[in-house]
Structure 1
Amino acid sequence: MKKIMIMVAIIAIATTKLTFAQSKTDVAFNQLLSAYYDVKNALATDKMAIAKEQVKVLTAKVDAIPHKDLPAIQHTLWMEQSEVIKAKATELAAGKDIKSQRKSFEGISSAMIKTIRNIKFNNTTVYVQHCPMAKASWLNEKENIENPYYGSMMFDCGDIAETIKSK
């Protein structure tokens, strides 16, 4: 009987540690997603200076991901996508005009879409939206289209390509 109780205790502790580690990782990824939305919203509303500032926050959130807690396949994917996000974020921050910022945002969006599809960390529904004019997709926290690639020129141009339900 003592052995069974000890085994149950060990399993409970191991499960709690795994759940805590996963939730800490999920929290960090959701903070990254929130920072991504801030960049998207700045571009969708034609606010170049705000996009530059918000992309710095996004880069900090990328660096804050506790990626060592991820399973091997997800870890490899994250390491690849995080490099893309940081490189494109650097480009966006250096962008001299909103058109170049939006082009850089395409790379950030592509990496974020791959990440969320494969790691499935989102605590709310996420909409993958697509603009046929830009031939590019992005993530949105709302069902309503808010096009970051054309901003006020075509704010609601696009459609929902995919809905990723919360975890």
Structure 2
Amino acid sequence: MKKLLILVLMLAAAFLIYRFAFKKKRAPREKPVPVAVSEQSAGFNQSMNSILSSYYRMTEGFVNWDTAAVGSAATGLETALKQLNVEELKKDTTIYQTALYPLELAKTNTATIAAGRDWTERRHALNDLSDNIRTLLLTIKYDQAPVYWQECPMAFGEGESGDWLSSKAEIINPYLGNKDPKYGKSMLNCGENKMTIDFTKRDSARLK
């Protein structure tokens, strides 16, 4: 009986040693990383990204007062706008019909910039183009990256504002730029952010 009791105590001790000294703790279960889900197809988003890339290159040309760079980027933007498969938006009639108008106007604005006779004409077309692309982005709920809507209060003189789109919150003014005949580069950072277009989001259904 005594031997049996000793054996039971030894087994109990061995179990406790195993449990507290040797048994590995389970690693905490990691939550899955949220995955972004777009409203549009990958092909459509790629086309929109091409439009914005060409637009951003064009505004850089405006900043530098570089006629050749503006013309080249405008030609690329014309192509990107024509290649946008807007028919894909027909799954939602309201979005489709709303998107058509600013898209067609953007094509006209870009053609004006490409064939512009002087900087004043190009910059007025840039102002109109920027507003039309902004309307398009809001209509389709562009969700690939934030886009900043910025304004220069004196783009066309005192009290005459002009707007543009940027991939950065930093103000780099394409209307006055760094070679303005009157201000030089002193007004390069003149302006402010008026709106952030940001439909990027996480797939809440995957957060478990």
Fold shared by both chains (TM-score > 0.5): yes
1:124 and 2:145 correspond: yes
- Alignment RMSD (CA, Å): 1.7
Matches within 5 A, 1:76-155: 76-134=97-155, 135-152=161-178, 153=180, 154-155=187-188
Cα deviation digits, residues 11-67 of structure 1 (max 9, x gap)? xxxxxxxx7962221221111111111111111121122101110100100011111
Cα deviation digits, residues 86-115 of structure 1 (max 9, x gap)? 111111111122222111111110101111
1:52 and 2:71 correspond: yes
| 8 Å CA contact 1:48, 1:97 repeated in 2 | no
What is the match of residue 80 of structure 2?
A: 61
Structure 1 residues 113, 21: closer, same or farther in 2, change over 3 A?
A: closer
Equivalent position SS for 1:96: coil
TM-score (ref. length: structure 2): 0.67
Cα deviation digits, residues 119-154 of structure 1 (max 9, x gap)? 122411111101111212111011111111111132
Structure 1 residues 20, 127: closer, same or farther in 2, change over 3 A?
A: closer
Structure 2: segments with no counterpart, 5+ residues: 1-37, 156-160, 181-186, 201-208
Instruction: Name the structure with the higher helix share.
Output: 1
Structure 1: segments with no counterpart, 5+ residues: 1-18
Equivalent position SS for 2:175: coil
1:162 and 2:195 correspond: yes
Q: Distance in 2 between matches of 1:30 and 1:133?
A: 29
| 8 Å CA contact 1:30, 1:122 repeated in 2 | no
Q: Distance in 2 between matches of 1:163 and 1:28?
A: 21
Count of residue correspondences: 149
Q: Distance in 1 between matches of 2:198 and 2:40?
A: 22
TM-score (ref. length: structure 1): 0.82
Larger Rg: 2
| 8 Å CA contact 1:146, 1:156 repeated in 2 | yes
Identical residues among aligned pairs (%): 26
